[in-house]
């Protein structure tokens, strides 16, 4: 099963609310669903969507668009590790993410921290 279970998504939504998360990153998104609709809209692309698979992104995009959420997204089509390195090259990003959801190839998780 690819998509996060509804009860796990609800837990994430609760955590996001509790910490008042603004800037988030999801690594391994597939078609996009869990964090996306939960972030507050301040007009910025505060949600970094990292996935290897552009087809999955494009499959989910009509739903994202319908929800008027496309401006919230910073889509990065890349393997997770190089995406994180790239983000860290921009010093403004360091320590700036409020919440990260890692949901990709399980063997690499240690390298993402």
Residues lying near ligand SAM in the complex (CB under 6 A) are found at 2-4, 26, 28-30, 33-34, 50-53, 56, 79-80, 103-105
Q: Which is nearer to ligand SAM, 2 or 19 (CB)?
A: 2
Q: Which is nearer to ligand SAM, 19 or 109 (CB)?
A: 109
Please, are residues 99 and 11 in contact by the beta-carbon 8 Å criterion? Answer: no
Q: Which is nearer to ligand SAM, 91 or 106 (CB)?
A: 106
Q: How far is the CB of 76 from ligand SAM (least distance, A)?
A: 9
Q: How far is the CB of 105 from ligand SAM (least distance, A)?
A: 4
Give φ, ψ of 58 to 5 degrees. Answer: -70, -30
Q: Which is nearer to ligand SAM, 83 or 91 (CB)?
A: 83
Please, are residues 50 and 28 in contact by the beta-carbon 8 Å criterion? Answer: yes
49 three-class SS: strand
Q: Give which of 69, 80, 72 is closest to 29, Cα–Cα.
A: 80
Q: How far is the CB of 31 from ligand SAM (least distance, A)?
A: 7
Give φ, ψ of 75 to 5 degrees. Answer: -80, 125
């Amino acid at each position: 099963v690819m998509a996060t279970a509804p009860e796990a998504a609800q837990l994430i939504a609760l955590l996001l609310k509790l910490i008042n998360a603004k800037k988030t990153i999801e690594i391994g998104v597939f078609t996009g669903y869990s964090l996306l609709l939960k972030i507050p809209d301040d007009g910025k692309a505060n949600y970094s969507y990292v996935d290897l698979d552009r087809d999955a992104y494009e499959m989910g995009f009509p739903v994202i668009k319908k929800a008027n959420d496309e401006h919230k997204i910073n889509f990065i089509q890349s393997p997770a590790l190089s995406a994180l390195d790239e983000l860290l090259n921009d010093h403004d990003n360091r320590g700036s993410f409020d919440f990260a959801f890692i949901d990709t190839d399980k063997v690499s998780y240690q390298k993402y921290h």
